[in-house]
Amino acid sequence: MWETGVTQILRKWREQGHTRLDCAKIVSTRTSRGGLDQWRWTVPTSANRSVSVKDVAAAAGVSLGTVSNVLNKPDRVSEATRQRVLAAMTDLGFVRNESARQLRSGVSRTLAYLMLDASNPFFTDVAAGIETEAETHGLTVVLCNSGSRGAREQAHLELFEQQRVQGLLVTPVDPDSPTLDAVARRGTPVVIVDRTRDDDSLCSVAVDDVLGGRIGIEHLLDRGHRRVAFIGGPADLGQVRDRLEGARSAWSDAGLDPEDLLTLRTEDLRVADGREAGQRLVGLPASRRPTAAFCVNDLIALGLLQQITQAGLRTPDDLAILGYDDIDYAAAAAVPLSSVRQPRQQLGRTAADLAMTEAAGGPHTHRRVLFTPELVARASTLG
Amino acid sequence: MWETGVTQILRKWREQGHTRLDCAKIVSTRTSRGGLDQWRWTVPTSANRSVSVKDVAAAAGVSLGTVSNVLNKPDRVSEATRQRVLAAMTDLGFVRNESARQLRSGVSRTLAYLMLDASNPFFTDVAAGIETEAETHGLTVVLCNSGSRGAREQAHLELFEQQRVQGLLVTPVDPDSPTLDAVARRGTPVVIVDRTRDDDSLCSVAVDDVLGGRIGIEHLLDRGHRRVAFIGGPADLGQVRDRLEGARSAWSDAGLDPEDLLTLRTEDLRVADGREAGQRLVGLPASRRPTAAFCVNDLIALGLLQQITQAGLRTPDDLAILGYDDIDYAAAAAVPLSSVRQPRQQLGRTAADLAMTEAAGGPHTHRRVLFTPELVARASTLG
DNA sequence: TTGTAGGCGTTATCAA
DNA sequence: TTGATAACGCCTACAA
């Protein structure tokens, strides 16, 4: 059986154009240890010196300039030589060197998005919007993930800047970080995504979080709730602060006692934090327990829903739950989750658009775009 | 109030080192239409010609080579000149040009991962593993997303190759695509992630799906189930095929009637597909309804759980549910989900390791690493 | 239509 | 310790 495998592989490699097959040493071993199986094959390593236009020119028997023309101005080259050059390229495995092109042209054809947390579906949706918009302009998008770690963010920012990306979209750990200004000042268009600054020293695209908090509370008031918990954290996160601010102002506008708008802090914004908050909520005496919870994002809302369901409470009868973001998992929860929707894809598309506009040059006008969130009412608050 | 804002911004810009502030025309307008607020500010655009080592050298009154030494061999430069050069760099806003460096050195310091679907937490976890491993080797990771679209995959592959990335990790739409071989043959180390080939013509890291299917069924048999539904699709996806194969062989090894291992096909692997399958399952007469469902991934399992819960069935009493992948949302479901775990992070770490080893040069041995999946039993099958 | 020369920004080598 | 020079691969003039 191994014999057969080896023969097949040899044939395949030959088809792939490997020329040094005869001296290839083929060894197969199968080991199994620690729940890990491995097969090993030695393979003919290809000559690693990279093939340049010069090599192609020599092989095709033309000058270097002709090869360049085949790539960039094909109509200036006769069909016969063009074919000859193309054949030489595939023969030699020629690959254009992007560094050299970029060095020469001065601009790259990529847009970068530095995500705060790639494991949060909110940000991957934003990224999808960026990709959509960039694609229509012929740009490719590269993604990096800071994982909320300042040092990694810094490293990625530096690399992107050195790579001279056309535009640098970023959801920063700290939107007020002077690093961002420095990058922008040196000439890379920077767009802050899903965060804002108080001044408008950079382009930014975000959603009006104060309004979102207000909308959420107004919905719960409409549904007759007069004792509500606002659940979220960390307290110093802009989104959390703004949404709470909006919630509080809607609450007091309705002439209600601030005491009845409970605030439950969480460590972070993950499902586990919602479960933990659920435990605290369930522990409250029924007389003091809120009739509704407004969660600062959907992950927390999902965790909360799971926890109280497990504890035997029913949603929305015992506790109505309102989330924030309207990620795909929200509509699909055991009790479909009401949520304050953010236009995620459009956030991304707009951010990409701003970056490309700024990159296009001309007198630039920093712009702060604020989208309006929208309530999506489902069973978890409607009953 | 606007006056104040303008003054603040002027001060901030001045602190940021803008020198042409005096001629900056500052305009603020606030428009509101279509649920979208905008503020506009014109800003002094920085002189865009990029600053080179030559400029720095001139400004610092030293030669170009000295500037280079400050960057690359600081100890060969006297402290005084070093400081002078560094000062000139920050004054001028010098940014190293990565293209030029790479052209000169011939190698980049990045690893690329081309994801199949960035919105699936499985792949972002794999990406996290890659980042972890790359970081310890001082490489940065750039991510791209093909979104299961062949054309986009192709475009990204080409760009990465032209950028001469150190290694190209990819979860391809089609693992047998000859494009991958072509890229590898031309000298870029390619590692297939979470897929395999029948031959071993490229490095790959995956999980043994046949074994996973087997483990899942064995667990359900242990729990006493004798009528089980295997739920998943599309039928031509390698993972789906392999897991079903494993499930079937475990089933027949137990001497059971193949008729009692029902197969429910789904369109895709998303939560919505699980809900849809749930509807079909609920529609079956109780006598024919399986007592357990083995889902080909957790998203489908979650959808199924939500759907049957809504229909009034209980898990695991009426229907036990077993998922696959053990994504974070699985443990956090309303009924914590049993699942066949794949070592996602380790998958990523190993893939990155293989790529870097191959990139390091020397005689290369293609390796196929197959991890062993592991059952994680929770309430959804334990009761 | 094809060939030649110069330069993009960086680094390494060698000479001062 | 510092400075001058050549090369990386590509592209664009301009010349033949």
Are B44 and B23 contacting, i.e. CB atoms less than 8 angstroms apart?
Answer: yes
Q: What is the pLDDT of residues B19-43, one digit of tens each?
A: 333 222 233 333 333 344 444 444 4
Q: Are strands A320-325 and A292-295 parallel, antiparallel or unpaired?
A: parallel
What is the predicted pLDDT for the residue at B333? 81
Structure tokens at B257: 């009637």
- DSSP string of B210-269? HHHHHHHHHHHHHTT--SEEEEE--TTSHHHHHHHHHHHHHHHHTT--GGGEEEEE-SSS
What is the predicted pLDDT for the residue at A202? 95
Q: Are strands A140-145 and A110-115 parallel, antiparallel or unpaired?
A: parallel
CA distances (Å), origin A35, targets A347, B12, B372, B374: 44, 58, 5, 10
Burial class (CB in 10 A: 0-12, 13-18, 19+), B158: middle
Q: Residue B355: left (phi > 0), alpha (psi -120 to 50), or beta? A: alpha
> What is the rounded (10 degree) CA torsion for B325, B328, B332, B335?
0
| Contact, B92 CB vs strand C, < 7 Å | no
CA distance B51 to B67: 13
Sheet holding B320-325, edge to edge: B261-265, B228-232, B292-295, B320-325, B338-341, B374-376
Are A141 and A363 contacting, i.e. CB atoms less than 8 angstroms apart?
Answer: no
Give the CA A30 to C1' C6 distance in Å. 57
CB contact under 8 A, A40 and B128: no
CA distance B356 to A27: 21
Interface of B with A in 291-310 (CB under 8 A): 302-303, 305-306, 309-310
What is the predicted pLDDT for the residue at B294? 98
CA distance B243 to B300: 14
Are A40 and A29 contacting, i.e. CB atoms less than 8 angstroms apart?
Answer: yes
Nucleotide minimizing C1' to CA distance for residue B80: D1
CB contact under 8 A, B13 and A201: yes
Could you say which architecture CATH assigns to the domain B53-96?
Orthogonal Bundle (1.10)
What is the predicted pLDDT for the residue at A369? 95
Q: Please provide the average confidence, as pLDDT, over all residues in chain B.
A: 86
A27, A101, A119: residue with CB nearest B124: A119
Nearest residue of chain B to residue A374 (CA atoms): B35
Domain A209-343+375-382 has CATH 3.40.190.10: no
Interface of A with B in 157-196 (CB under 8 A): 159, 161-164, 178, 181-182, 185-187
Q: What percent of chain A is modeled with pLDDT above 70?
A: 87
| Contact, A32 CB vs strand D, < 7 Å | no
CA distances (Å), origin B264, targets A150, B158, B293, B294, B334: 46, 38, 10, 10, 23
User: What is the arithmetic mean of pLDDT over B308-323?
Assistant: 94
The ranges assigned to domains in chain A are 2-48, 53-96, 106-207+344-371, 209-343+375-382
DSSP state of B383: -
> Does this chain's domain A106-207+344-371 share its CATH topology with A209-343+375-382?
yes
CB contact under 8 A, A200 and B39: yes
pTM (2 decimals)? 0.85
CB contact under 8 A, A200 and B35: no
CB contact under 8 A, A99 and B163: yes
Q: What percent of chain B is modeled with pLDDT above 70?
A: 87
User: What is the arithmetic mean of pLDDT over B282-305?
Assistant: 94
CA distance B300 to B298: 5
Just give the CATH number of A106-207+344-371: 3.40.50.2300
pLDDT at A38 over 90: no
CB contact under 8 A, A368 and B38: yes
Q: What is the pLDDT of residues B45-73, one digit of tens each?
A: 444 457 899 999 999 999 999 999 999 98
What is the predicted pLDDT for the residue at A9? 40
* Residues whose CB falls within 8 Å of the CB of residue B100, separated by 6 or more in sequence, listed in order: A99, A103
What is the predicted pLDDT for the residue at B124? 94
* Residues whose CB falls within 8 Å of the CB of residue B224, separated by 6 or more in sequence, listed in order: none
CB contact under 8 A, B36 and A102: no
Q: Measured between beta carbons, which residues in chain B are less than 8 angstroms from residue A366?
A: 40-43
What is the predicted pLDDT for the residue at A39? 52
How many secondary structure helices (H) and strands (E) does chain A include? Answer: 15, 14
Q: Measured between beta carbons, which residues in chain A are less than 8 angstroms from residue B131?
A: 145, 147
| Contact, B65 CB vs strand D, < 7 Å | yes
Q: Which residue is nearest to nucleotide D9 (CA to C1')?
A: A100
Higher per-residue confidence, B13 vs A168? A168
| Contact, B6 CB vs strand C, < 7 Å | no
Give the CA A22 to C1' C15 distance in Å. 48
A140, A303, A369: residue with CB nearest B38: A369
Asked if B91 reaches chain A (Cβ–Cβ under 8 Å), the answer is: no
| Contact, B101 CB vs strand C, < 7 Å | yes
What is the predicted pLDDT for the residue at A74? 87
